[in-house]
Structure 1
């Protein structure tokens, strides 16, 4: 155990050495400019630390003494950049171990992404690194940059122009990593670190989140995801990080439904949807594009609102039209733009000329000497937690960096500013940024920056308000095989989920007796655990009231192909209801137990109105998921209809997560539909799928 702790400590130290190096070695360094080794040396031309070229075939590279091996270096390198063919990488790693290197950056491809041979080569490389606690970045990546240290560990040209800044970038794609860093540069903002992971043989997303979370130079984290192999670990890392600094996530792959079970629950809980839901549940802001990622991460790096359930924002504008655009965008996003207090409006009346709008948005007209006092007055309003300010670039009318700088001397309320003009605004943006004011180049970007702050504040409030749920497994008898619908309902009933009265029948005579006992109307179903969608197979017959109707239903069920002699029937009392929903749980190999809720019945896939979350989760969070559905209005008495038992839906979801923790052999549970009416809910159909070993 002590050895493991020491090893983990060395690995953490070596990751810090790798990403914040003072000594860098380039293996494969050369004077031939067309080769990667020369480009790596050129990229490090501005590095203030020590750079050692390593190449057994050269005496000097770019005016520096060249060493034959890493072991021959006069001091241990923090970072080793490999510019050699992939087949040599494991041997270089062994040499790096002798040199006591901190980490290896392998930019070359030809590893696991190419097939079995490449995978074996990558495993050999990783084994050499792990044996010496050397960290491995990549392979198959564009590298990383650390502008504060002047370290450009990449072969791409021009990256030395990217300035140091507050946004830490982690991207699974090396190309996306550089794209995000360059977008930040184009907007006049820099990065603390920008790391492309590539194959992530060793260093992965989770560890870099932990690194950036504790990095004092990083104020916000911009995260790009292409695929998630350990979703639960990612969720936990992001949840820890968001308590210290904002995290913005751009997950790609919206069309991927993932490798889930074949039920409706699995289909409505696709890989992308689960990633989005998990990241939001962890407190991250989720966006749908690289530019949106950059804008949100930059805005949040400047200022962060405290946790608030519903932040109130003010719009202050020197021109009415752009102010309306901003206010409209904010309100469309559900951001609260509250009216100002009467005393605030009275004070503004004394500062502004007549005919200006003062209620929020505040139209100042062309900014004058009172502009700073107007902003201070608005920020002093108890309903205002943040403000956006827009004004055309008129240096003779408003020097924003001076005026807003004075305001911030008296107020700590976040301010976001935007202006447009014909001159280069770079210096103005930089001056505002240095004062902690996010500045944008358009009304839309200004609004989107504020929306990011609001969403982050709301997410942090949800995290603070969330109940700590610990679903300890109860002792339960393991299911030896996949249960049929009747058995599934028995299990649900044992956990408090109501189910209709029913009788399992093996013969037509028993079915007629069941009809007599239950009275009509009843539903007659085929009872076979191998038929997942009974309606599609012709195995569900509703509203059976008499013997003739029952005979017709039984005949139709008997006609289902491949039923065999073991056919059985389920005769069940009809349950009148107002709304139907679907609730389910899936044991995902990456994310763990996930819950889902949505519009139920045969419209489940058609409506695609679903919400997902990771278990365990508290009742308040479950209620938020249920009420986030577009169909939630049906549960609250839409157009005079009867309201549904929302608490009953939450109870059902709660029961599902307890079942999943008590029965690790269950891969999936689905209730579709969950019938909902004012006085309760009931599972009208139930499907349980077990893991392969239990299903056999």
Structure 2
């Protein structure tokens, strides 16, 4: 997750889809940087330097430009192919202010290079303590003034000696990030159009043998009816599968939009180079033998990426199954799958070829369809982030479906998912996100969040992604979303012709967090008017086995009008003829149309049949059908959770008045050790407004100054006495803490404890005023995939025993912190369990948010364990804390 600021690397897609990358300037860039500046037009040079410099002056400038310390002076370059096409730098003017300047090659101006470099520089500057950028701009340099104004940063300008001085903060706020990501989206969509709307495709490695990947892929394109022009490339044949073939892509006389490559891995590099020289901008590489096979393959993949960057090409794969577009105007099946999926409204991306094949089979057997299929393979370039952005506004895609095995930049993924999930549902089947048995860490927090599935679940819930645990569940949710409105809440009515099935379904609904409320008196009265006397009309509604189509339609319509109901499960256990069963299905369809008009979804459980995940349909109107109550309940539960997530208002990350300068000094003084000393850790928390019980800390040399120590301890009253040592994690286990001591007794215990624990290198003793209340905990640990994870739960010695934990990926909003607390089983202890007085839950939520802010501000912090946090009527007081540091100049990926 950490990214060295003196090892900057950003891939950038320009507005027109061209790929460039940004990295730090190096001394060996002298000649190429000089070439950039010497080739600028007179106007661009004058805008940059206010007059045209001499060659000597330019050489002198370049020499200075390549010698930077990446703190007070920072330089970055934008590279296209082997060319430097942009240069940006800042130089500190004071502790918190720096001057920034840019130059972009004339042929790359107005394409987003300067704006991207400004964002990268601002991120570095913020980490280095630079709060304000200023730039001196000629009054006629309208392009540069526009760059600053359109960047997303709040800009101020004033005139000084005839020059416009532009000032802007370096903080990458949510608003600024959103502005950058809007620009990124335009570029991403333009780049992906070359894959999804190509007018010409070259199949390199095309074969007459359909058993070979190149042969099957070409055959699929022909049979599926691609509407563009296909150019087979085969060095040994004049025609392949009845189409004229070319020895190399360079021999094709026409422009090629997309190249699909299926040649041996050792030939891919040369072929990619030929594609670059030809001017191809999109590659799909089916060939295996890259990063998935070891070090040699990894190097080959790096070389492939280097070639793609050199020629501005985008890449899907390598080691993938290909891509498929079902749009009748495109009809592109550039895969070697045995059978294409039906046309539909699902955009699906998979990291696994095998899962991709299974998905295609499921799509067809369940009556669903795809708008796009993309096999990502090794994700060397194009990732699920890019596809989500493309599908966000794609008119042919209503549901986005992902199979994920890894994340590239989870922070960007989180922001993207939060935005897109408010428009279109994102379904994910995720596995293997982190290796089993991830690195164990010493504190409570680390051991609690080491289970990857727990972290992934928390992350997906946080960003609005619906996570499925199986293919059946994945397609069950998809079937629901494609046919039904989202439920308005979690109250479910169950209508059945079999009491036992109704009861089982009710049990499953409650297990997944749905409610089965009793129907209103008016609804029950209406049902009694036409149902048999032996029918149950409360909820579940058991119409009895004699119920036919008329009873189903009337009952469902009456229940749909009950104001307390958000969704309906119609259960049909077939005990009648096929003809009567069809009547019941039609009745359910008719009633569903009525319920849907009220904004209420209906799903059907068709017991005793083999129709799991399919539909009953009529004239384009469908109801999803399930065989088993557990799957139906899970699907409805997940969609209800998603619907409620969408109703949440957008929030900003909370901020507080804090003393960052003092906090930075405390951290800097502690970087010579892994774990911060306890007294320093408490000081750090206080800088961020955390409540800490009054305490006195004494080093071992101070501890034996009896009068001095006793005087301070007596002022505290009853205290907890704690040994302070890097080597002690669980104090209770070692007798390194004792509570409710006073005065001399406390001091005497401290001395004896130090002697008893001498093998643990005790550094000192803390005497802390006793705090009364509910013991909770707050923690942070760094996940290798998602970065910092904030956790909270029941505290004290029970934190690991009960595993009562909630987690979120930073940064978190106030409502997310509230959700974390309310989801705990121990929440009732905070609200007044069994007649106890309720405590200050808001203070506990505030403490979580302050830890979140501290973690966001200082990437040196890699682990925090506040346990216990004693919550009472007045405050949430951190009684014990461990903070682990790492000396780094890194910043978290934005």
Contact 2:589–2:616 (Cα < 8 Å) also in 1: no
Output the CA distance in 1 between the equivalents of 2:281 and 2:542. 57
Alignment match, 2:652: 468
Structure richer in strand, relative to its length: 2
Secondary structure, counterpart of 2:570 in structure 1: strand
Q: Cα 1:322–1:512, aligned 2, differ >3 Å: closer, same or farther? A: farther
User: What is the CA–CA distance in structure 1 between the aligned matches of 2:549 and 2:481, rounded to whole Å?
Assistant: 29
Name 1:481's counterpart in structure 2: 669
Contact 1:326 1:443 in 2 (8 A): yes
The answer to whether the 8 Å contact 2:476/2:613 transfers is no
8 A Cα contact 1:137 1:202, kept in partner: yes
State the SS of the aligned residue for 1:44: helix
2:877 maps to 1:688: no
1:60 match: 239
Q: Residue 405 of structure 2 aligns with which residue? A: 226
2:579 to 384, 387, 396: 396
User: SS at 1:480's partner residue?
Assistant: helix
Q: How many angstroms does 1:61 deviate by?
A: 1.4
Change (3 A) 1:55 1:561: farther
For 1:361-372, what aligned pairs fall within 5 Å after superposition?
361-365=540-544, 366-372=547-553
| Secondary structure in 1 matching 2:775 | strand
Deviations along 1:650-693, one digit per CA (max 9) or x if unpaired, are 12112212323444443333211112334433211112222324
**1:415 Cα deviation after fit:** 1.9
More off after superposition, 253-262 vs 85-94: 253-262
- In structure 2, the CA distance between the partners of 1:470 and 1:436, relative to structure 1 (3 Å rule), is farther
Quote the offset at 1:11 in angstroms.
5.3
Distance change >3 Å, CA 369–CA 530, structure 1 → 2: closer
CA contact (8 A) 1:11 1:133 kept: no
Structure 1 counterpart of 2:212, from 25, 32, 35: 35
1:441-465 CA-partner distances (Å, limit 9, x unpaired): 333333333223212112222x32x
CA offset at residue 66 of structure 1? 1.2
SS in 2 for 1:344: helix
Tell me, yes or no, if structure 1 residue 453 matches structure 2 residue 639.
Answer: yes
- How far apart in 2 are the matches of 1:451 and 1:297? 13
Question: Could you list the per-position Cα deviations for residues 540-583 of structure 1 after superposition, in whole angstroms to 9, with x for gaps in the alignment?
Answer: 3444446466445434424546666xx53223134143432210
**Alpha-carbon distance in 1 for matches of 2:248, 2:752:** 81
Cα deviation for residue 359 of structure 1 reads: 2.2
What stretches of structure 1 of length at least 5 have no aligned partner?
none
When the two chains are superposed, the root-mean-square deviation of aligned CA atoms in Å is: 3.2
Contact 1:249/1:287 (CA < 8 Å) preserved in 2? yes
Change in 2 beyond 3 A, CA 1:400/1:191: farther
2:861 maps to which of 666, 686, 693: 666
Alignment-derived partner of residue 276 in structure 2: 97
1:256-291 Cα distance to aligned partner (Å, 9 max, x none): 464586432233233443332121111122232333
Partner-residue secondary structure (3-state), 2:362: helix
Cross-structure match for 1:168: 347
Question: Displacement of 1:485 after TM fit?
Answer: 0.8
Query: Which residue of 278, 290, 312 maps to 2:459?
Result: 278
* Structure 2 partner of 1:194: 373
Measured in 1, the distance between the counterparts of 2:342 and 2:616 equals 12
Q: Distance in 1 between matches of 2:258 and 2:361?
A: 23
CA distance in 2, matches of 1:688, 1:607: 23
Indicate whether 1:331 and 2:528 are aligned: no
1:429 aligns with 2:615: yes
CA spacing shift, 1:99–1:299, aligned 2, 3 Å: farther
Give the number of equivalent residue pairs: 686
1:441 matched to 2:627: yes
Distance 1:400 1:452, change over 3 A: farther
Q: In the alignment, which of 191, 196, 205 is matched to residue 19 of structure 1?
A: 196
Cα shift at 1:598: 1.5
Distance 1:187 1:427, change over 3 A: closer
Q: Which runs of 5+ in 2 are unaligned?
A: 1-108, 114-182, 671-675
Helix, strand or coil at the partner of 1:429: strand
Which residue among 282, 306, 313 is the counterpart of 1:127? 306
Instruction: Give CA-to-partner distance per residue, 1:454-484, whole Å, 9 cap, x none.
Output: 12112222x32x5433538864242213341
CA distance 1:527–1:374, shift in 2 (3 Å)? closer
CA deviation map 1:274-314 (0-9, x unaligned): 332121111122232333222222222222416x4x33222
**Which position in structure 2 is the counterpart of 1:638?**
833
Is the Cα–Cα contact under 8 Å of residues 316 and 363 in structure 1 kept in the other structure? yes
Distance in structure 1 (CA, Å) of the matches to 2:188 and 2:814: 40
**Offset at residue 109 of structure 1 (A):** 2.2
Higher relative contact order (CA 8 A, sep 6+): 1
1:241 aligns with 2:429: no
Does structure 2 conserve the Cα–Cα contact (< 8 Å) formed by 1:225 and 1:249? yes
Deviation string, structure 1 residues 574-627 (Cα, Å, up to 9, x no partner) = 414343221023466754543210222233233222111133433332122112
Partner of 1:373: 554
Cα 1:687/1:276, change in 2 over 3 Å? same
Q: Which residue of 2 aligns with 1:264?
A: 444
Aligned to 2:751: 554
After TM superposition, give the deviation of residue 249 of structure 1 in Å.
Answer: 2.3
Distance 1:194 1:24 in 2: 17
| Alignment partner, residue 80 of structure 1 | 259
Aligned residue for 2:737?
540
Confirm whether residue 417 of structure 1 aligns to residue 612 of structure 2.
Answer: no
Q: 1:33, CA displacement in angstroms?
A: 4.2
Distance 1:8 1:97 in 2: 24
2:774 paired residue number: 579
CA gap 1:694/1:104 in 2 versus in 1, 3 angstroms = closer
Q: Helix, strand or coil for the counterpart of 1:46?
A: helix
CA distance in 2, matches of 1:116, 1:255: 19
> Equivalent residue of 1:168, what SS?
strand
Contact (CA 8 Å) 2:402, 2:426: kept in 1 or not?
yes
Alpha-carbon displacement from aligned partner over 1:182-224 (angstroms, at most 9, x marks no partner): 2333323222223222211101111111122222222222222
